[in-house]
Amino acid sequence: MLTHTLPSVLGRAKTLAAATSVDTTYLFCAANPHAFDVRDRERVIIEGKDRVRFLHAMLSNDVSSLQVGQGRWATFNTVKGRTVSDVRLFVVDDDKRNGAIWALLEPGARDAFVEGLDKFVISEKVYFSDAEETALWLLAGPTADQTLAAAGATLPPDEPFAHLETTVGGRRVRVLRLDVSGRDAKDLGLWMAADDEAAVLEALAHVPRGDRLVLEAARVEAGQPRFGIDLTEENIPLEAGLKNRAISFTKGCYIGQEVICRIDSMGSPKRLLCRLDLDGEAAPEPGAELSRDGKVVGWVTSAVVSERLGHPVALGYVKKRNNDVGTVLDVAGAGSATIAAHC
């Protein structure tokens, strides 16, 4: 069942499902990318001389090997392996005492992440602060790199979560490679001081502003899970397909590691997040039941009527022995669905 959602993320998922249709075509064409205001994503600065060692011991992915300009997706889990929060980390300065790691979180996830980690701080020098008076925009589309370069910016390497500081419109901006609209997307995050936002946007005035629902629709089409709706404390990260994306199996111990590694060694978790193609005309609401032969075997998390694909698509959890690709399921109130892929 759908539990432990983040209110803001759930609200956007409900709005997406209720939309008559959403067209993501412009995110895949070679014309201008679109700019999206994503300042609701919560931003935290992590400092202190023990920050790397502490985060490495707490989170699911390898933090200690990161260099300046590199980033990584990770999860913070309970001792039972369930997901308290996910986080994108960016090493901005590796000076032991005065350096910093920047963290990007979903709207509403900051308190669980910061307060949860803070409980484990004993004598370590680790400090969390909100990145106040900052703004965050996203350039999405296949020509985002060219567009930003034409505005005079230097681009980070073409690697997941790579980042660097550059200038746009004469103002300092940290450019981050992100995966908001899909794992293979060419998304560029622009993290800047709030006082510099107007000048940066003026330099990008020719870039059309995009509708946030289009970003949501694109990630559902791409099978990209979002914490707070497709991945919650109800789930271990393996269920959402994060095994090779946000989890290290060589780094050593972290909170929840024993459970996650044991389940992985058994072959597969008891359910998997799947990308579903629906044959009806409407998108099911988040939480709609998925059934097979009259038995409930899962639930929908996110869904949209995709104008680009010509039919509704959804993400949803399906139990083991019922989640093979090609399996046909009944969707409560929305006809049937075929499992197209595992996320």
**C-alpha to C-alpha distance for 296 and 283, rounded to whole angstroms:** 18
- What average pLDDT does the chain have? 96
In angstroms, how far apart are the furthest CA atoms of the chain?
Answer: 62
Give the pLDDT of residue 3.
86
* Residues 224, 274 contacting (CB under 8 angstroms): no
Q: Is 315 inside a domain boundary?
A: yes
Q: Is residue 285 part of a domain?
A: yes
CB 156 within 8 A of CB 184: no
Confidence of residue 31 (pLDDT cuts 50, 70, 90): confident
The structural domain count of the chain equals 1
38 assigned to some structural domain: no
Contact of 304 with 334, CB cutoff 8 Å: no
| Residue 299 forms part of a structural domain | yes
Cβ atoms of 298 and 329 within 8 Å: the answer is yes
- Comparing C-alpha atoms, which of 82, 113, 104 is closest to residue 240? 82
- Summarised one tens digit per residue, pLDDT across range 90-123 is 999 999 889 999 999 999 999 999 999 999 999 9
Proportion of the chain above pLDDT 70, given as a percent: 100
Q: How far is CA 269 from the centre of its chain?
A: 21
The sign one gets for the Cα dihedral 287, 292, 295, 298 is negative
Amino acid identity at 69: G
Which residue matches tokens 């694109």? 218
Could you read off the pLDDT of 248-268 as tens digits, one per residue?
999 999 999 999 999 999 888
Stretch 319-337: mean pLDDT: 96
Q: Are 103 and 44 in contact (CB under 8 A)?
A: yes
Q: Is 30's pLDDT higher than 80?
A: no
Domain presence at residue 112: no
Q: At what angle do helices 7-18 and 212-222 cross, to 10 degrees?
A: 90
Model confidence over 151-174: pLDDT tens digits?
Answer: 999 999 999 999 999 999 999 999
Domain at 328, CATH number: 2.40.30.110
What residues make up the domain containing 312? 218-235+270-342
Does residue 140 sit within a domain? Answer: no
Torsion angle, alpha carbons of 280, 270, 62, 78, to 10: 110
- Token look-up 């759908």 returns 2
For residue 2, is pLDDT > 90? no
**pTM across the whole model:** 0.96
Strands 328-331 and 289-292: antiparallel
Distances, alpha carbon 159 to alpha carbons 36, 72, 147, 162, 164, in Å = 21, 10, 18, 6, 12
End-to-end CA distance of the chain: 18
Is 329 part of any domain? yes
Confirm whether 324 is domain-assigned: yes
